[in-house]
Structure 1
Amino acid sequence: METDDYLPFEPMPTSIKECQKQVSVILRGMPRGRPVDSPLLRWLARWSPKIGPQIEIDYFTIEDNWNHGYVTIAHLPDGTAIDFTYRHPVADFYRYNKTGLVESRAAHYERRLKKAMRFAITDQIAAWRGAHGGHKGVVVDHAWPRTFDVLCDRFRLVLAAQDRYGDAWERFIGEDVSLEAAYIWLTDGGPENRYMNVITSRAVLAQWLAFHADHARLRWIPSITNSVIADRDPRLHGYNDLGAGTPVP
């Protein structure tokens, strides 16, 4: 089934979000758990950073994803199954038509890795929530300066230092400016992991969980405050009274 000239709508929506919304409506109406095929699904796979136009696809399935909606899965002739979302292909299609570029492999990997690392600490966040009941309008925040992104980047640097210097890594991690963040291998999580990407190495996963438990400081903050400060120093936005954060239990 050729999709080079295919477009899912005529005319195409003017915005990425509107196109994603319309695509989602169609996917939600497709049957669950049995082989399906359509030009729309092949168009999405063609623009997916996980699949692309070169991979041959036999058929698709739409699977319920626990209580998290649904997931689209491409089944290859060799039996390989690749889960993918509709959001990123739609965004890349619009990005390409506007700039001639799509998301780089490096940027795609970084985004996948951060999601996998965040998914890995779900139980720790849930335990902290249970121990520190919040209220409506607040969200869990990694207290600055140990933001989630900072912890992820530091952990990858620790892995790189350990690989190079072994047990003496702490002596050199601050001195060796040539150290680069370690590459962490990811695997499609499958239904048992709600189709989220997961860290492949059990040893690295265990080390990340221990690192996060040791270094993360969580706090409740208003969701509107969280959206303003993001990963930045709260003081830059006039928030001088935020709590310092509570260790993960």
Structure 2
Amino acid sequence: MTTQVTVIGLGPMGAQMARTFLKAGYDVTVWNRTAAKADPLVELGAKRAERPTGDLMVISQLDYQAMYDSLDGVDLDGKVLVNLSSDTPAKLREAAAWVAGRGGVLVTAGIMVPPPGIGEPGSFAFYSGPREVLDRHTATLAALGEVVHVGADEGLAMMYYQSQLYVFWSTLTAYMYSAALLGSAGVKAAEIVPFFQGLVGSLAGDGPMGFLKILTEEIDAGVYPGADNSLRMQAVGMEHALHAFRDAGLETSMPAALKELFARTDREGRGAEGLGAVIESIKNP
């Protein structure tokens, strides 16, 4: 098991990773382009590096260009880089080739908790890249949370990460739209939250509102029954909702986009199918 780890990038995520490794008893070296950010971690027992170094480097920076800038001229031969920075899947694949061309190995990752959740129960991260390399360092990385390997394709971890984030962002933004709509009538958010808690729970459940499971089965089968609940009905209802937002004097870009997506799926001849048919329009822009 690796007992030494270098953390590169000491923003909120990277600094918390370093603290978590220190708490778990690891020999931690830290490096940041703004050197003063390492001071609080050095006080906790970390070693300050003048340049990025170490057999296992855990990276948390703004994007992958920051990795190129930070490691320019650094000897990567035999090194393992685990990069938890955000970027596009294509850029992660390019980065893997860049690291390999310098004798190192890149494992890409996306951690699915905010900084305070790192290393806490429920924390996990998606990893992709060579499984045998990840396996050598799983015990160390597990200090940050559960290690979930999703495949050899270095871009896959970012796809999982961004897919999860999209559900997170869009769900909470939809709630904010809903709170704004009801707020225009004087209803406080605290009054409506129990209903939305129930709705989110039902969507993930097994009952008649368990659409997460229902849609998953339909998507995998490529069949979208709509006899009792057609997409055309959803499109009409979404148009009504859009007018409600407009009548309330609210911003409408998100509901307008959803209304157009439903309408387009209907125009493409899928109005008699179910809501799941929308995925076919998503896959074929």
> Is TM (by shorter chain) over 0.5?
no
Which structure carries more helix by proportion?
Answer: 2
TM-score w.r.t. structure 2 length? 0.29
Structure with higher RCO (Cα < 8 A, 6+ apart): 1
